Structures are given as C-alpha cells and as structure tokens.
Amino acid sequence: MQNRVVMLVDLDYFFAQCEERRNPSIKDKPVVVCVYSGRSEDSGAVSTANYIARKYGVKSGISIFLAKRKLKDQDAVFLPLNRDFYEQISDEIMEILRSHADLFEQVGIDEAYLDVSQKVKGSFEEAEELAKKIKGEVKTEQELTCSIGVGPNKLIAKIASSVQKPDGLTVVKPEQVESFLSQLPVNRLIGVGRKTTEKMRDLGISTVGDLAKYDVRKLNEVFGENLGTYFHNASVGTDDEPVQERGEAGSISRISTLKKDTKDLETILEKVNPLCDDVHERLTQRGLNFKTVGIVAVMTDLSIHSRSRTFETPTNKLDAFKETARELFEKFLEDSELEVRRVGVKVSNLVEQETQRQITDFVGT
Ligand code: TTP
Ligand code: MG
C-alpha cells in the first residue's frame, strides 16, 4: 500500500507577521499584537508577538501590562488587532495551500492539514520538495513565512511543524517516527496538558518514549480506556484521522486589484462580477451551497473594510451572489469617502448540497 503523506502548514507569528508585511519598518523591533479590552488604556491581552518580542518572554495570552513591563527598555511596537486584514491574507494563503493538496483541512486561521499522498506518489523526498515549493509560493505571493511538518499522519505532521520555527521544514519519514518521538517531552502530544503531564510524571513518564514503553492496561486504569488508548497510540505515532474538508467553517474568496483607484460602482462591478463567477465555479466544483456573501474593499490608504449578508437558507445561485455583492458595494460606496484600490468577494457558511451529501453518506457507510 502507498505511504500516506500528510503536511501541517502553520504560519509564523501570524497576526504580527501580517502587521510587519504592511509596515516593514517595524520588522526589526519587538511587535506585539494586542486585544484591548477597552476598560483602561493598557488592559487586555497579547494576541501574539513576533519572535524578537518572544525573546523577552512576550507571548500569546499574557497581559498587555506585563508585556510592556518586559519590553520597557525596548523600542517595541504595540498594535491593536485587525482581524479583517488577517482573515483576508489567511483566505488567500489557504487558496495556495489547497491548490497543492489532494485533501485539505483548515484547522485555524493560520493552520491547515494537506494530504498529499497522491500528489507525491507516497514519496517523502517528493513531499519535501513540494513543501519547499509551497513555502516559496507563500513567500513570493504573500510575503509571509510558514513552518511545515511532513509525516505519515496528522499527529506526526503537527508535532513536526512545531519543532523548527519560524520558517522551518521538518520531514519525519515512517522509519524515523520512533526516534523522532521518543525524546520529546510528553506535553508535546496534543491532549497532554499540565495536569496530565503531572500525573504522568508521578507514573515515571516524562518523555514520549517512556509513554510508549508504559503498559497500556495501566494507562487505561489511570486515564480511562479512551484516553489511555489514545495516549498509547499517540506515543507510538499511530494516528488514522483522515484529512477532511470542513465544509461549514470554510469560505471561498477572490480578491483583485482595480486598474485604477475609483469610487464608481459600475467600474468596480466590472471587476467584481468575474470574481463572483470564479468563486461560484469553485463552489460548484466542491458541491457546496453558501449562506453568507461578503465583500472586501481595500482603500487607497490600504485600510480594509468588509461587509456581509447572511441568507435564511443556503443557496448556490450565482444571480443571488452577484446581486448581493452589488448591493453591498453600493451601500458601502455611499458611506465611504476614499477611493477603492482592491476589491474582493467571499462566500462563507458553506454547506454541502443535498445530492452531494447523499452520495458521500452512501460512500461513507
Ligand atoms: P498560533 O499559530 O498559535 O501562533 P502564531 O502564528 O502567532 O505563532 P507561531 O509562529 O508559534 O505559529 O496562532 C495563530 C494566531 O492566532 C496568532 O497569530 C494570533 C492568534 N492567537 C490569539 O489571538 N491568542 C492566542 O492565545 C493564540 C495562541 C493565538
Ligand atoms: Mg502560527
């Protein structure tokens, strides 16, 4: 049987890297992206930080107050979250990633699994070349770095993606799984948090290798059968979870730059309508209906604005898509002072078409 080859692509310090992209002058400074709670000037938490800031101990989840203290002698940049902007970049990168995968599963705003078994004909050497190519495309087309883990399943790919960061590439072939895993601390396995780590330490288990050698029946006694079996399988690198599309959570989008900055609706729609055709075609290929239509406008000052409308029931009608995009742009332009530079459309809240669902149900059982 052919090798399964799975990749996990994780964008590096994603929100902060997006900020660096649009303002390269901050690149050599500590950059901290913050979620301000609005209660007082510095109340809130750190969303993420670039690797320079991380050297000073700044990381996701700590308070802005603490981050400022850690960086008090540095020329650091603190920025508020711009989620629309990050989502737009994420959508465009996910399209690149999807185009290289046999099966694709986005698992977060900056993370996706790619099953590339067919594409690389089961070869890990070819998978390594493909991973380099993907990193290159993300870099040249979107000016962002990512880290990729390649392995025989999702579990190994995920851990591999995290061992070299940022801008890393780690390939773990099936025959390397055991040595790769055995030295790692147990908390590198998904599902092994602080409490479990402590419990395992009491059992004399500190590395994944220790866990692999531990009697599975005893693990079941301590953690229950489901969890015990999971821990054992994970410790030896066994994982059969398929890479699968997450229809409902996904979205399909296209964005493009206008020939000339404008506020004219008809000029904008000349650009938007073919984008709708393109998105609709991909939607149809994937057998999906949409509930939400969104538009994006990047203005002359590079600020990003989005609007959306959600229908009661899912549809796949191109007319409804175009009409809604038109209305959203019309309304948006009325309220806007600046000219538009780039325009995008997006469908989200995706659900499988009924016929498609019956076929998959049938095949799946
Ligand atoms: P991660 O991929 O966990 O982190 P990252 O991309 O910033 O850094 P790394 O190089 O280690 O991959 O999360 C992706 C984004 O999600 C991150 O840029 C910001 C956001 N996020 C939060 O807002 N809060 C959090 O606690 C975490 C972990 C992430
Ligand atoms: Mg990341």
The per-residue pLDDT for range 187-240, each reduced to its tens digit, is 999 889 999 999 999 999 999 999 999 999 999 999 999 999 999 999 999 999
Please give the structure tokens belonging to residue 65. Answer: 């107050």
- Judged against a pLDDT cut of 70, whether residue 362 lies above it is answered with no
Residue 141 pairs with which residues in a beta bridge?
Answer: none
Lowest-pLDDT choice from 80-84, 248-252, 266-270, 281-285: 248-252
Mutational pocket test of ligand 1: of 20, 37, 60, the residue with most ligand atoms within 8 Å of the beta carbon? 60
Residue type at 240 in one-letter notation: D
Report pLDDT for 247. 55
Q: Which comes out higher in pLDDT, residue 38 or 135?
A: 135
**Counts of helices then strands in the chain (DSSP H, E):** 14, 13
CA-nearest residue, atom 23 of ligand 1: 47
**Is 337 labeled as catalytic in the residue annotation?**
no
What 3-state DSSP class applies to 204?
coil
Report pLDDT for 238. 93
Cα torsion 249, 250, 251, 252 to 10°: value is: -160
CA-nearest residue, atom 20 of ligand 1: 47
Mutational pocket test of ligand 1: of 35, 46, 48, the residue with most ligand atoms within 8 Å of the beta carbon? 48
The DSSP secondary-structure symbol of 241 reads P
Residue 10: is it exposed, middle or buried by C-beta count within 10 angstroms (0-12/13-18/19+)?
Answer: buried
Q: Which tens digits make up the pLDDT trace of 35-94? A: 998 778 888 999 999 999 999 999 999 999 999 999 999 999 999 999 888 988 998 899
Please give the structure tokens belonging to residue 314. Answer: 């899912």
Residue 171 makes CB contacts below 8 A (sequence gap 6+) with 124, 127, 128, 131, 150, 151, 160
Compute the average pLDDT of residues 355-364: 46
User: Distance from the CA of 10 to the center of ligand 2, in angstroms?
Assistant: 5
CB 303 within 8 A of CB 262: no
User: Distance from the CA of 67 to the center of ligand 1, in angstroms?
Assistant: 16
Residues in the chain: 365
User: Distance from the CA of 166 to the center of ligand 2, in angstroms?
Assistant: 9
CA-nearest residue, atom 28 of ligand 1: 60
Q: Pocket around ligand 1: residues whose beta carbon is below 6 Å from it?
A: 10-15, 47-48, 60-61, 109-110, 165-166
Provide the pLDDT confidence category of residue 326 given band limits of 50, 70 and 90. Answer: very high
What 3-state DSSP class applies to 312?
strand
CB 314 within 8 A of CB 260: no
CB 183 within 8 A of CB 209: yes
Angstrom distance (rounded) from CA 76 to CA 32: 8
